[in-house]
Amino acid sequence: MPFHNRTTRWSCLVAHRRAGKTVAAINDVIKRAITEGNRSAQYAYIAPFRSQAKRVAWDYLKHYAAPITKNTNEADLMVELINGAKIMLFGSDNADAMRGLGFNGVYLDEYGDFKPSVWGNVIRPTLSDRLGWAVLAAHPRVKTNFTTFTRSAKAHRIGFFCAYRHL
């Protein structure tokens, strides 16, 4: 519940595999899209690969959003909610597909497997004009770009929400 009730713009979620990060993420994005969103609001779930996002999160998104879904676009991996907000799935392997978009919020799954340049060059700018939020999530692993982010979050605490779940 602390993850779903957070009020910070930047968050990190560290949990072991099969801890439920994807289900929590999809439901969190849906909740925020329906409560914060409007006709032009856009949200994204981003995995290291688009095919991975489709395999891991697409069925969850369609299932949990079904009661409030207006349209579903299978080809674009996009769900439009009844308030007009859109939730899309992407892969960081084709970060250029996100250039020029503006997001109200993004969830970056397995962020430790992203190229470090994707955050600063592509994703962070998509959040700027809308003051969008971001959740970076991964399982505990040594020496990745996610480790650098979580160390920064722990050191600064202000403006960051961090949740850790270990076995």
Report strand pairing: 69-73 vs 78-81.
antiparallel
Cβ neighbours for 81, distance < 8 A, ≥ 6 positions apart:
30, 33, 34, 37, 65, 68, 69, 70, 87
**Residue 161, φ and ψ in degrees, nearest 5:** -115, 130
Q: Which domain holds residue 110?
A: 10-156
Contact 34, 86 (CB under 8 A): no
The answer to the question of residue 161 being in a domain is: no
CATH number, position 19: 3.40.50.300
User: Hey, how many other C-beta atoms are within 10 angstroms of the C-beta on 96?
Assistant: 8
Q: How many domains does the chain have?
A: 1
The answer to the question of residue 87 being in a domain is: yes
Q: How far is CA 77 from CA 9, 56, 157, 166, in A?
A: 25, 12, 34, 31
pLDDT in the model for residue 9: 75
Report strand pairing: 42-47 vs 105-108.
parallel
The answer to the question of residue 166 being in a domain is: no
pLDDT in the model for residue 6: 73
Strand order of the sheet with strand 160-165? Answer: 69-73, 78-81, 86-91, 42-47, 105-108, 133-138, 10-15, 160-165
pLDDT in the model for residue 70: 97
The answer to the question of residue 1 being in a domain is: no
The answer to the question of residue 163 being in a domain is: no
Ordered per-residue pLDDT tens for the chain, 167 residues:
766 677 777 777 776 667 678 998 999 999 999 998 788 899 999 999 999 999 999 999 999 999 999 999 999 999 999 999 999 999 999 999 999 999 999 999 988 888 888 988 999 999 998 999 998 887 666 445 555 555 555 555 556 656 555 44
Which of 8, 98, 121, 81 shows the shortest CA–CA distance to 45? 98
Contact 80, 28 (CB under 8 A): no
The answer to the question of residue 167 being in a domain is: no
The answer to the question of residue 3 being in a domain is: no
pLDDT in the model for residue 67: 97
The answer to the question of residue 102 being in a domain is: yes
